[in-house]
A = this chain, B = another copy of it.
Amino acid sequence: MTTSASPGPDGIHAPSLVQLAADSLRSMILAGEYAPGERLAEERLTERLGISRPPLREAMRLLEGEGFIVTQPRKGSRVATLTDQDVHEILTLRSALERLAFELGVPVRDPALLEAPRRAVAEMEDCARREDRGGLVQAGYRFHLALVGIAAHRRLSESYAAIQRQQLLCMARNLVVREAYYEDLVQHAARHRLLLERVESGDRDAALAELAAHGEQSFASVALPAELYRSSFSGGAPSARGRAGQSNAPT
């Protein structure tokens, strides 16, 4: 995942503790170290991250804006709890943004914009050959982000990256079944290659059609396991009794 470390045009700087803390927290949440609904006490986090409270609080403001945590005024912060409605929202919005990117950018104006998705899909194929599931997923995310980049639309790309991160959060809640997704890794990469070719051809409608078909698969790999997870959850989870099924705060 492209972390948001952005020191500027070219000048290199020690990234502020706020950025470091935000990246660390995001990683920890996505890694499942903090369960959805779990309380995030500031004091604990400061001693874990080795920083003071002000930068930590600013980092949490950032993550709040990204939808990873929810904060209630005097009751502290919690890891966002994703309901089925949330998953639905994430998937539909992600899909719509991708479609918009195609509509805006599919007769690709600047050929240089195609470099990034080409590299990503090549990496996907490489991972598929090596049967590297984790790398394949990572490269897949980079591919989609790069594909949205063809619109040359900064706000669109940022919104897409944000919703993509939230989708990762969706998948963090069902880590157990993540490994079982792709029946055929090579075929998975091939679908992405086909999507890229449609884009390269410049035929907007064909690209959109392929994207729609592509989206079906994506839905299956996120929404479906969520169901599996929930049923296995009510069965007998060890701890982490976060109140699943509750809506997030209306921030």
Q: Interface on A for B, CB 8 Å cutoff?
A: 4, 6-9, 13-16, 18, 54, 57-58, 61-62, 65-67, 72-74, 85-86, 89-90, 92-93, 96, 100, 103-104, 153-156, 159, 163, 248-251
Contacts and interface: CB of A to CB of B under 8 A. Distances in A.
Contacts of A251: 4, 6
Nearest to A18: B61
A58 B85 CA distance: 30
Contacts of A66: 65
Contacts of A15: 73
A8 B89 contact: no
A8 B73 contact: yes
A59 to B, nearest CB: 9
A10 to B, nearest CB: 11
Q: Which 4 A-B pairs have the closest CB atoms?
A: A65-B65, A61-B61, A96-B100, A89-B155
Given A54-B54, A92-B153, 19 more contacts: A4-B251, A6-B249, A6-B250, A8-B73, A13-B74, A16-B73, A16-B74, A58-B61, A61-B62, A65-B66, A89-B154, A89-B155, A89-B156, A92-B100, A93-B153, A93-B155, A93-B159, A154-B250, A159-B159
A44 to B, nearest CB: 20
Summarize A's interface: helix, strand, loop or mixed: helix
Copies of this protein chain in the complex: 2
Contacts of A93: 100, 153, 155-156, 159
Contacts of A92: 100, 104, 153, 156
A58 B159 CA distance: 21
Contacts of A154: 85-86, 89, 248, 250
B90 A155 contact: yes
A65 B161 CA distance: 13
A185 B173 CA distance: 51
Given A54-B54, A90-B155, A104-B92, A249 B8 contact: yes
